[in-house]
Amino acid sequence: MLPPPDSNNICFYGECSYYCSTEHALCGKPDQIEGSLAAFLPDLALAKRKTWRNPWRRSYHKRKKAEWEVDPDYCDEVKQTPPYDRGTRLLDIMDMTIFDFLMGNMDRHHYETFEKFGNETFIIHLDNGRGFGKHSHDEMSILVPLTQCCRVKRSTYLRLQLLAKEEFQLSSLMEESLLQDQLAPILIQPHLEAMDRRLRLVLKVLADCVEKEGFPSVVENDLDGQPSSHHHQAHGGR
């Protein structure tokens, strides 16, 4: 902790290998900061986790750019690299990208999986602490994995379209869901409205992808065995 030179507030900074320094301190008024912590994962002794480096991890350096920032064909390289060369892992990363963009989280340097399932697994969206920072700013660089790869699960694509409809609006569903929390209200209205705005931006990126590469190349059908009509899939996937 250190007091800034121009006020009586006390500032906190963490110890880690990324943005933890006195330059990136968080200041209290005078010494308290509101925050939240949630952990619902099994203990590591019960379920070991494997940590994976996010291929689209930021450089965390003021002057040095990450490879994905300078190479527009970076996704082609990722697609040839295990575990992204088969299975659903790349599509899972696209889901995580959309998840992070909706809440404005630029800090997805790693993700995790449960070791027990090997590479045939879902990924864990752990550590979302940088989410819901600036509701007035849409950080388009978070969507770079999606714009470079132009791939998405059909179930995700239909869900996004559903949440853009007025009767299933993402902000309304989110607000209703969060009201059940004992700490409600969790998100102020501008954050909820930002999610609707960002959802439209995701759909715009996907529409551009479909126009450029064609629907079958972009949207991966993960709904085998589901009713074939678009209407039923959109509602049956809820």
Alpha carbon distance 44, 55 (integer Å) = 24
Which residues fall within 8 angstroms of residue 59, CB to CB, at 6 or more apart? 65, 66, 69
Instruction: Choose the catalytic residue: 107, 181, 196, 208.
Output: 107
Catalytic residue check, 95: no
According to the annotation, is 117 in a ligand binding site?
no
Ligand-binding annotation for 234, yes or no, is no
Q: Any binding-site annotation on 39? A: yes
How far apart, in whole angstroms, are the C-alpha atoms of residue 30 and residue 12?
Answer: 11
Beta-ladder partners of 11: 2, 27
CA 24 → CA 2, 21, 237, distances in Å? 12, 5, 42
The residues, any chain, with a CB within 8 Å of residue 40's CB and separated by 6 or more, are none
Q: Give φ, ψ of 51 to 5 degrees.
A: -100, 130
Kindly state the helix (H) or strand (E) to which residue 111 belongs, with its residue range. strand 110-114
138 is in an annotated binding site: no
40 known member of a binding site: yes
Region for residue 118 given its phi and psi (left: phi exceeds 0; alpha: psi -120 to 50; beta: otherwise): left
Residue set of the binding site for ATP? 38-41, 112, 127
Binding-site residue ranges for Mn(2+): 127
Active site residues per annotation: 107
Which residue ranges are tagged as binding site? 38-41, 112, 127
